[in-house]
Amino acid sequence: MQIRNTGHNGIHLPASHIVLDGAGSDPQAHIFISHAHSDHVPGKRSVPVYASPATAALMRARGHRGPVRELAFGQTLALPSADVTMYPAGHILGSAMFFIETDEGSLLYTGDCRRPPSPASEGFALPDRSVDQLIIEATFGLPLYKWEPHEVLFSQIRTFAAKSLDAEAVPILLCYSLGKAQEVMMALAASDPPVTVQIHPAGVPLTRIYEEFGMSMGHWEPFDPENLAGKVLLIPSSALNNPDIRMIPNRRLAYVSGWASIDAYGSRLMADTLIPLSDHLDFFSLMDLCREIAPGHIWLTHSPNPDVALHYLQKEGFSCGSLEKEQYREV
Q: Which DSSP string do the residues of 52-68 spell out, in sequence order?
A: -HHHHHHHHHTT--S-E
Residue 164 CA to residue 177 CA, distance in Å, equals: 22
Using the predicted structure, report yes or no on whether residue 18 has a pLDDT greater than 60.
Answer: yes
Cβ-based neighbour number of residue 132 at 10 Å: 17
Measuring CA to CA, how many Å separate 291 from each of 295, 298, 300, 312? 8, 11, 14, 12
The predicted-structure confidence for 2-15, as pLDDT tens digits, reads as follows 898 876 668 999 99
Cβ-based neighbour number of residue 193 at 10 Å: 6
**Quick one: angle between helices 204-212 and 180-189, nearest 10?**
70
Residue 325 CA to residue 133 CA, distance in Å, equals: 18
Using the predicted structure, report yes or no on whether residue 331 has a pLDDT greater than 60.
Answer: no
Architecture of the domain made up of 150-275: 3-Layer(aba) Sandwich (3.40)
List where CATH 3.40.50.10890 sits in the chain: 150-275
List where CATH 3.60.15.10 sits in the chain: 2-144+280-330
Judged by DSSP in three states, 229 sits in coil
Q: Which DSSP string do the residues of 60-96 spell out, in sequence order?
A: HHTT--S-EEE--TTPEEEETTEEEEEEEBSSSTT-E
Using the predicted structure, report yes or no on whether residue 330 has a pLDDT greater than 60.
Answer: no
pLDDT tier, 263 (very low <50, low <70, confident <90, very high otherwise): confident
The predicted-structure confidence for 65-91, as pLDDT tens digits, reads as follows 999 999 999 999 999 999 999 999 999
User: Are 75 and 85 a contacting pair, CB within 8 Å?
Assistant: yes
* Side chain identity at residue 244, one-letter code: D
Lowest mean pLDDT among 39-53, 150-164, 282-296: 39-53
The predicted-structure confidence for 31-56, as pLDDT tens digits, reads as follows 999 999 999 998 888 999 999 999 99
pTM comes to: 0.94
Closest CA to 245 of 260, 264, 228, 257: 228
φ, ψ (nearest 5 deg) of residue 313: -65, -40
pLDDT tier, 326 (very low <50, low <70, confident <90, very high otherwise): very low
Long-range contacts of 62-68 (CB under 8 A, 24+ apart): 62/36, 62/38, 62/178, 62/206
Using the predicted structure, report yes or no on whether residue 324 has a pLDDT greater than 80.
Answer: no
* Side chain identity at residue 123, one-letter code: G
CA of residue 70 relative to chain centroid, distance? 19
Using the predicted structure, report yes or no on whether residue 325 has a pLDDT greater than 80.
Answer: no
The predicted-structure confidence for 87-116, as pLDDT tens digits, reads as follows 999 999 999 999 999 999 999 999 999 999
Contacts for 14 with CB less than 8 Å, ≥ 6 apart: 2, 4, 26
Residue 174 CA to residue 245 CA, distance in Å, equals: 12
CATH annotation of 2-144+280-330: 3.60.15.10
Residue 148 CA to residue 159 CA, distance in Å, equals: 16
Share of the chain above pLDDT 90, in %: 86
Q: CA Rg, the chain, in Å?
A: 20
pLDDT score recorded for residue 28 = 85
φ, ψ (nearest 5 deg) of residue 162: -65, -45
Torsion sign over Cα 120, 10, 38, 321: positive
DSSP character for 106? E
Residue 197 CA to residue 320 CA, distance in Å, equals: 44
